[in-house]
Amino acid sequence: MPMKRFQAFEFEDASWFPALVRDLMTDYLGAAVEMLRLFAPAADVIAAGLAGSGEHRIVDLGSGGGRVWLSLAPVLESQVPGLQVRLTDAYPNAAALNAVVAKLPGILAAEARSVDARKVPGDLPGLRTMFLAFHHFPPDDAQKILEDGVAGGQAVVIFEGQRRDLGHLLQFAISPLAVLLMTPAIRPFRLSRILFTYLIPIVPLLVGWDGVVSVLRTYTEDEMRLLASKADPEAHFTWETGELASGTSVVPYLLGVPTAPK
């Protein structure tokens, strides 16, 4: 049985949180996700969402550093002709996103403006993806993310990188050690990364805190299905939940596709 869900505080969520430190944290998370290929199993679910909605465009919400797409996009491109992925965030890490786009310029593009996942601008059509971010939103706001997709007729697929259980809690509790070990390999090199990781260890401590809180905030499959039913009471979408095995982690997902695709 999962632990009780707590809507505790994460530093990255705060509007007052220094952009420099937030970017260093998202840089680490992106590097860890890329190294572990955490979301490699997600490609088939995304491809199914694109096929079911008749789309070739993706709007990624809460992209952070966007590095998850360095491995995902080439796999999807082989299945989806003309694939286009736009990376967005409420607090865009412009340097990181532009660096990722530069590696796959024909597929990826970065959105410079702040994008609220609860109210995506109408000029950003496409399947809406979200990685490691849904848990940041309390139930009312999480429901609004789904409602906005339904209202706009845009398919939605949500992925987390953890389950709300003791095993993942312990795994994230030791993440500061991973930050210390991985930081020298994170590119581009930044003196601020060294300063705030080793001399003033803000980044590892806050990554550890936010990681543990992320586990406590993660929605179960039952909770995601309930949010979907409230967001789509007239069943305009077909909803699917599941869990994907990825190394020592579990990747829960929620997929919603319009019942009458374009």
Domains of the chain: 38-166+220-258 (3.40.50.150)
82: left (phi over 0), alpha (psi -120 to 50) or beta: left
Q: What are phi and psi of 96, to 5 degrees?
A: -65, -45
Tokens of 163: 């389950």
Residue 73's nearest CA partner among 61, 87, 62 is 87
Q: Supply the Cα-derived Rg of the chain in whole angstroms.
A: 17
| C-alpha span between 29 and 165 (Å, rounded) | 20
Bridge partners of 130?
A: 61, 158
Contact criterion met (CB below 8 Å) for 72 and 43: yes
**pLDDT tens-digit profile, the chain (262 residues):** 567 898 888 998 888 999 999 999 999 998 998 888 889 999 999 999 999 999 999 999 999 889 999 999 999 999 899 999 999 999 998 988 999 999 999 999 999 999 999 999 999 999 999 999 999 999 999 999 999 999 999 999 999 999 999 999 999 999 999 999 999 999 888 999 999 999 999 999 999 999 999 999 999 999 999 999 999 999 999 999 999 998 878 899 999 999 976 5
- Encode pLDDT of 69-92 as tens digits: 999 999 999 989 999 999 999 999
Q: What are phi and psi of 164, to 5 degrees?
A: -85, 80
